Amino acid sequence: MADFDVDLFVIGGGSGGVRAARIAAGYGARVMIAEEYRMGGTCVIRGCVPKKLFVIGSHVRQEIEDAAGFGWRIPEATFDWPTLIANKDKEIARLEAAYTANVEKAGVRVVKTRAVLEDAQTVRLMTGEAVRARYILIATGGAPNHGREIPGIEHVISSNEAFHLKELPRRIVIQGGGYIALEFACIFANFGSDVTVIYRGDNILRGFDEDVRTHVRAEMEKEGITILTGCTVTKVDKHGKDYTTHLSNGSSIASDQVMFAIGRHPNVANLGLDKAGVAINPENGGIAVDHFSKTSVPSIYAIGDVTHRHNLTPVAIREGHAFADSVFGKRPVQVDHINIPTAVFCQPEVGTVGMTETQARELFDRVDIYKTSFRPIKATMSGRDTRVLMKLVVDGSTDRVLGCHIVGDTAAEIIQAVAIAIKMKATKADFDTTIALHPTAAEELVTMRTVTERHVRQAAE
C-alpha cells in the first residue's frame, strides 16, 4: 500500500463519481475526488435539477388558465424571469454544498481542480501535485455538442447558457428534436416566448415509440410551438440584439435568441487518456469499457456519460455504485442496462420503459398492442384541448409486457412504478388482474382489455 497515495482517485464530482467515492470510502478505501468546476456535475448544476425547477415554474401559466373552469377568478398574473433565475441559483448552491458535505463526511478528500492522467496509476492536479492511485475512476460526464461549424455559430447558446439568461427571450429558435430541445421549447413557450423548433429528421423524439412521437408533436403544436422538420440551421446572423436564423430549406426566422440542443459528446479531451493507454470506443466516441466499467487499462475505470452508453443520471449513479461494490466490496456487480425507464419533461410529459412497437416487431413473431387516447378528467372542466396517450407493447406468444409508453401529466411518476412490473417480467394478465385506482389516468393501464393492433410476422418461405 505504501506505493500508493490513495486507493481510489475519482476524476469528476458529478452524481456517478460522488456515489462511487462514497461507497468505496464506506468499504474502507482511501479516496480522493477532483472536480474542476462545481460539485454535483451536469445533473445538479446545469441539467436535470435546474431544468425540472424551470419545468415546474413554467406549468403555473397553464394552471392559472385551467383554474377558470373550476370557478377561480384570478387577476392577471405577471412573471419575473430574474426572480426565477435567482431562486434557482440559491437552490443549486444549496445542493452543491450538500454534495460536497456528504462526500467529505464519508471520509473522501475533495480537491477543486482539474486532474489529468499521467500514466495508468498517476494523476496530475493543476496545482502541480501528483497523486498515485491503486485505481482511477473517470466520471467526467458530457457536454453540449453544436455539431458542424456554420457561419454565426458563436451566436448560438446551449442548455448551459439557457439557465443563466439575463432576460426571457421574446422569440427563440431551438435546433434539435430530443429531450433537451423539447423540454426547453415547452419551458420557454409556457413562460410566454414565441418558440420555433428546427429538426433535421422527419419527426421529433427519434428512437421513441412512433405513437409517442406523433402525439407529442401534435400536443406541442396545439400550444403554439412551431415545429419545422426535415431542415437544419445553416447560418445565424446578428443584428444588434436580434438574430436571423437561416435554414436549409431557404427560409429564415427572426428571434432574439438561438439555442442548439442537437446532442452531447463525452468529456474525453485533454484528460491524458493517450498517455495512460485508455481506449476510445470508435462507435460512440466515449471511453470504451466492459460490463464492469473497466477500460482497456486494468487500473482505470469509467462510468456515466463519458462512456456514452446511456446518458442518464440514475444510470451513472448505478454504475458508480456497482464499480465500488465490485472493486472495493469484493462483490462483483454488473449493471443491467435493459429496460431503463426514462422521461421527457416536455408539455405534456413523456414516460417510457421497455421496447417500442417497432423494436418488438423486429424481435418477436407475435406482438399485441393495447393503446388508448383520452381526454383527462381535468380537461373536461378546464376546457383545455389536450389528450393522454397510453400504450402497452405485449409479446403475443407469452403475454409478457415488453414496453409501456405514456404521454400526459405525471407520466414520469407513473412509469417509475410500471418499470418495476416490466423488470419483473409481468404479463398482460398480471396487469388485467390488478384492480384499478379510480379516478386516475393510470387506471387505463389495467383496464385496457381489447387488442388495438395485432402483428404476426410471417415465416420466411
Q: Which residues contact 85 (CB under 8 A, 6 or more apart)?
A: 163, 164, 165
| Domain match, 371 and 289 both | no
pLDDT of residue 234 exceeding 50: yes
Average pLDDT, rounded, for the chain: 95
Mean local confidence (pLDDT), 164-172: 97
Q: Are residues 306 and 168 in the same domain?
A: no
CB 261 within 8 Å of CB 184: yes
- Of 239, 308, 337, 438, which is the active-site residue? 438
pLDDT band at 1 (very low <50, low <70, confident <90, very high): very low
Q: How many CB atoms lie within 10 A of CB 154?
A: 9
157/255 same-domain check: yes
Number of domains in the chain: 3
pLDDT given at position 90: 97
In terms of domains, do 316 and 384 share one? no
Q: What is the pLDDT of residues 17-42, one digit of tens each?
A: 999 999 999 999 999 999 999 999 98
Let me know whether 291 and 187 are in one domain. no
**Any idea what the CATH number is for the domain that residue 186 is in?**
3.50.50.60
What is the predicted pLDDT for the residue at 460? Answer: 47
Same domain, 56 and 131: yes
Q: Are residues 110 and 220 in the same domain?
A: no
Residue with cell 414516460: 351
Q: Confirm whether 59 is a catalytic residue.
A: no
Nearest-CA neighbor of 295 among 117, 143, 163? 117
Pick from 16, 9, 7, 112: nearest CA to 307? 16
Residue 3: predicted pLDDT = 87
Could you tell me the residue range of the domain that residue 279 belongs to?
A: 6-144+265-327
- What average pLDDT does the segment 288-303 reach? 97
Q: Classify residue 339: in a domain, yes or no.
A: no
Say how many C-beta atoms besides its own lie within 10 A of residue 233's C-beta. 25
For residue 366, what is the domain's CATH number? 3.30.390.30
Residues 135 and 182 in one domain: no
| Nearest C-alpha neighbor of 193 from the set 68, 58, 88, 350 | 58
Is residue 136 located within the same domain as residue 32? yes
Give pTM, 2 decimals. Answer: 0.94
Residue 2, pLDDT > 60, answer no
Determine, yes or no, domain membership for 438.
Answer: yes
Predicted local confidence at residue 459, as pLDDT? 62
At 457 the pLDDT is 87
Alpha-carbon span 280 to 243, nearest angstrom: 38
* Helix ranges, 330-410 (H): 357-363, 377-382
pLDDT tens column, 400-418:
999 999 999 999 999 999 9
> 221-232: per-residue pLDDT in tens?
999 999 999 999
Interaxial angle between packed helices 179-191 and 210-222, expressed in degrees from 0 to 180 and rounded to the nearest 10:
20
Burial of 33: CB neighbours in 10 Å, binned 0-12, 13-18, 19+: buried
pLDDT 10s digits, 340-380: 999 999 999 999 999 999 999 999 999 999 999 999 999 99
C-alpha cell at 259: 439555442
Residue where one domain finishes, among candidates 247, 262, 277: 262
Are residues 138 and 25 part of one domain? yes
Percent of the chain with pLDDT over 70: 99
**pLDDT beyond 50 at 461:** no
